[in-house]
């Protein structure tokens, strides 16, 4: 398995809802990432997890809460989001953090989130 | 600070025409440069990286350290090349590891029949 799998592919949620995005990989990668991509904009790094510990938090609002329960799984818990949080949320992984030059990064196909 | 600039937001060419997507970067160290492609509603995929010096789907890119550029070129564009192309930079630490990725704003390429 050489993929990063994200579920759900699409999510519509209200501003008072609580939901979670899931990311899974079975490549034995020990680093996982969350990116946010607004329409027609480049991906922006949100969080980096290395060996299930949070390594980087790019000043993301607390309404986004990441969780790494094991080395294959990365969740993003969402609560009290705003309409401007609507975006494509991308998960990525790499063998290690920092990633090696040889292996680089692998991206998932993303969850398209709409906050209404 | 690291910065990646893609001056063209949109680029349109006819099928069979040459295409060049520009990318300039700013970084004081030795960067690693990448081109990623995102077809409509699909995942971000790695297209090229400068260290591999290969041609993928007919695309090539050469790192020009003097001009701090990493332009993506294809001599004969195809309709299936229509996509969003992102240039990205990663810092290199101790020669063997990559830092985080910094993306340019992307260029939407449309190839007309």
Alpha-carbon gap, residue B10 to B107, rounded angstroms: 5
Residue A1 has pLDDT above 70, yes or no: no
The C-alpha atoms of residue B20 and residue A3 are separated, in whole angstroms, by 30
From chain A, which residues contact B within 8 Å (Cβ)? 40-45, 48, 56, 90, 94, 96, 98-101, 104-105, 107-110
Q: How far apart are CA B92 and CA B76, in angstroms?
A: 33
Residue with tokens 């990646």: B4
Q: How far apart are CA A47 and CA A24, in angstroms?
A: 15
Strand partners, B12: B110
What per-residue confidence (pLDDT) applies to A111? 95
User: What residues contact A85, with CB distance under 8 A and at least 6 apart?
Assistant: A63, A64, A78, A113, A115
On chain A, the residues whose CB falls within 8 A of the CB of B90 are: 99
pLDDT, average across residues A46-70: 89
Contacts of B104 in chain A (CB under 8 A): 42
Chain-chain contact of B49 with A104 (C-beta, under 8 angstroms)? yes
Largest CA distance in chain B: 47
**Per-residue model confidence (pLDDT) at position B95:** 57
Contact between chains at B93 and A98 (C-beta distance less than 8 A): yes
Predicted confidence (pLDDT) at residue A22 exceeds the cutoff of 90: yes
| A84 DSSP assignment | G
Residue B78 near chain A (CB below 8 Å)? no
Phi/psi for A26 (5° steps) reads: -125, 40
Candidates B86, B98, B106; nearest CB to A100: B98
Task: Count the Cβ atoms, other than its own, within 10 Å of residue A3.
Answer: 15
DSSP-based three-state secondary structure for A35: strand
Strands A87-94 and A111-115: antiparallel
pLDDT at residue A58, as a whole number:
81
pLDDT tens readout for residues A93-115: 998 887 776 778 899 999 999 99
Q: CB–CB of A42 and B32 under 8 A?
A: no
pLDDT value for B87: 95
Percent of chain A at pLDDT > 90 equals 67
Average pLDDT of chain B is 88
- What tens digit of pLDDT does each residue of B8-31 get? 999 999 999 999 999 999 987 778
Strands A106-107 and A87-94: antiparallel
pLDDT classification of B94: cutoffs 50, 70, 90: low
* Both tokens assigned to B36: 């990623």
Residues of chain B with C-beta less than 8 angstroms from the C-beta of A89: none
Contact B49 A110 (CB under 8 A): no
pLDDT digits over B28-74, tens only?
A: 777 889 999 999 878 888 898 877 777 889 999 988 989 999 999 99
């Amino acid at each position: 398995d050489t993929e990063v799998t994200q579920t759900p592919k699409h999510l519509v949620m209200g501003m008072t809802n609580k939901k979670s995005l899931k990311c899974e990989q079975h490549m034995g990668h020990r680093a996982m990432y969350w990116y946010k991509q607004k329409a027609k904009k480049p991906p922006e790094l949100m969080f980096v997890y290395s060996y299930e510990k949070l390594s980087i938090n790019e000043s993301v609002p607390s309404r986004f809460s990441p969780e790494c329960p094991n080395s294959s799984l990365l969740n993003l818990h969402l609560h009290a989001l705003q309409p401007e949080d609507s975006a494509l949320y991308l998960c990525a992984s790499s063998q290690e953090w920092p990633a090696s030059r040889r292996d680089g990064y692998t991206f998932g196909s993303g969850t398209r989130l709409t906050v209404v | 600070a690291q910065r990646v600039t893609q001056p063209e937001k949109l680029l349109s060419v006819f099928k069979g025409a040459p295409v060049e997507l520009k990318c300039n970067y700013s970084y004081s160290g030795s960067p690693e440069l990448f081109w990623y492609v995102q077809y409509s509603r699909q995942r971000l995929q790695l297209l090229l990286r400068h260290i591999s010096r290969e041609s993928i789907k007919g695309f090539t890119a050469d790192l020009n350290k003097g001009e701090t550029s990493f332009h993506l070129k294809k001599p004969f564009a195809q309709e299936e090349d229509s996509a969003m192309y992102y240039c990205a930079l990663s810092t290199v630490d101790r020669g063997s590891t990559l830092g985080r990725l910094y993306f340019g704003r992307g260029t939407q390429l449309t190839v007309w029949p």
